Amino acid sequence: MKKLIITLEYPPVSGGVSVYVEQFVHSLTKDEVVVLAPVQSGKGEMVTETERLGYEIRRRKLFFPIFIWPRWLKMVGLVWNLVKKQKIEMVYLHHVLPVGYVAWLVGKITKVPFVVFSHGTDLEYATRSRWKRHWLRLVIGSAVQVVFNSENLRQRFLKFFPEWADKTTVLYPCPGINFLAGVDPQKVTALRNQYALLGKKVILTVSRLDDGKGLTHLVRIMPQILAQEPNLVWIIIGDGPKQKYLLEEIQKQSLQNVVRYLGARPHEDLPLFYALADLFVLLTHPDEGREEGLGLVFLEAAAAGIPAVAGRSGGVEEAVISGQTGVVVDIYQGDTKVVKAITDLLRRPEYGRELGKRARERVLADFRWENQLQNIARWR
């Protein structure tokens, strides 16, 4: 079955949605896949990219300029042409709105069915107003299936639309095989030397630098953690709109010698950095109604055998089983519990290794694409 996958986030864009979609595409039969994604800034290498990846990817400007409304109408022509020329039999769209408008309209004309994948923030956007909920009803009503990246997100959706329970399912994100394959010890040693990590305990955070990720909360409590674990280094990987503010807060707390801020790194390089870490920490939390869909980085840490301290938000507790594969904390219940969770794992490395071992075993058992795809077998 020839499939068209429409996404607004795809590598080299960084982030959990981008990685989810890429890994999902790689799990499918390549000659049956066409990906429609935004243009890479400053690049026009669609053919080269297609040849390199082994499946067809179309990079296009998906929206009209801001002064033409509705902007998404441009995508209708692009999708319609692809459906006809590529003989598409199924459309997968990875954002409810506005991509759902396009799939609904093209589906009405071509009769090609579509499956909606939701990752969290798109659902929050699509339920903001009565008008958007009206459109959401049209889109979901026409979709053959609605797929969520966590059970928590599915349940949030069903609070608004309980009548569609039978057409919903969960397809968890899965770490890439490179997170399970192991890393070159010589490269890990070289990184330890490069970042002056010898004799240090290492906390790792990989995240988009944005609201709801809890990085400034960790900055605030880091002096309390250092009072108990002075030989500590905190590695931060990622970028985003809160980067400048985060670096300013790090300076205010005089943590320049503790923090190694590395910016965004290629996703395929991340297993090396997980191998450096004693503990993965990301203090996610609800923010103005927005919550985590799941948190792929927690599963990547698990695949690498690293325990996690995770902030309670959305589907995070499906990624980290508190007391079994890591510890889940609520940052709104006070700093003391968060500090204790982190320092306990740093002081008890045997316990941390046991949690990391269980976390990896859970990924091997439950979070492999070949297993997860059975949840949507009917629509493949």
Considering the domain architecture, whether residues 151 and 237 belong to the same structural domain is answered as no
SS3 content of the chain, % helix, strand, coil (to 5): 50, 15, 35
Assess whether 159 and 182 both reside in one domain: no
The residue among 171, 190, 210 that closes a domain is 171
Tokens encoding 51: 């040849």
Q: Specify whether 239 is located in the same domain as 308.
A: yes
> Could you give the CA distance from residue 353 to residue 74 in angstroms, rounded to a whole number?
52
Check the CA dihedral 204-206-208-213 and report its sign: negative
Specify whether 118 is located in the same domain as 182.
no
Is there a single domain that holds both residue 200 and residue 331? yes
CATH number at residue 81: 3.40.50.2000
Degrees, nearest 5: CA angle 143-147-153: 125
pLDDT digits (tens, 9 = 90+) for 341-360: 999 999 999 999 999 999 99
* Residue 174, φ and ψ in degrees, nearest 5: -130, 140
Please check whether residues 194 and 160 belong to one and the same domain. no
Whole-model pTM? 0.93
SS3 track for 326-350: EEEECHHHCHHHHHHHHHHHHHCHH
User: Is pLDDT at 241 greater than 50 in this prediction?
Assistant: yes
Residue 205 lies in a domain: yes
Position 376 in a domain: no
Cα–Cα distance measured from residue 356 to residue 377, given in angstroms and rounded to the nearest whole number: 31
215: closest CA among 245, 251, 252?
Answer: 245
CB 169 within 8 A of CB 12: no
**Does residue 86 form part of some domain?**
yes
Domain presence at residue 101: yes
- Selection from 8, 59, 78, 21 nearest residue 267 by Cα: 21
Q: How confident is the model over 137-159, as pLDDT tens digits? A: 999 999 999 999 999 999 999 98
Contact at 8 Å (CB) between 212 and 242? no
Q: Is the pLDDT of residue 41 over 90?
A: no
Residue 273 sits in the same domain as residue 143:
no
Residue 356: its pLDDT value, please?
A: 98
Query: Domain boundary at 137, 153, 171, which?
Result: 171
- Number of compact structural domains in the chain: 2
Same domain, yes or no, for 230 and 357? Answer: yes
Does any domain span residue 98? yes
Range of the domain at 133: 3-171
Position 144 scores a pLDDT of 96
Greatest C-alpha distance within the chain: 65
Q: Would 35 be classed as within a structural domain? A: yes
Question: Which band of pLDDT confidence, cut at 50, 70 and 90, is reported for residue 4?
Answer: very high
Task: Say yes or no: 316 and 351 in one domain.
Answer: yes
Phi and psi at residue 144, in whole multiples of 5°? -85, -20
Angle between helix axes 349-366 and 335-347 (nearest 10 degrees) is 100
268 found inside a domain: yes
Asked if the structure places residue 182 within a domain, the reply is: yes
State yes or no: pLDDT of 46 exceeds 80.
Answer: no
Same domain, 51 and 117: yes
Q: In this predicted structure, what is the pLDDT of residue 160?
A: 84
Which of 111, 140, 171 represents a domain boundary (last residue)? 171
Looking at the DSSP assignment, which residues form a beta bridge with residue 170? 148
Give me the mean pLDDT over the 157-164 stretch: 91
For residues 184 and 329, state if they share a domain: yes
One domain for residues 200 and 80: no
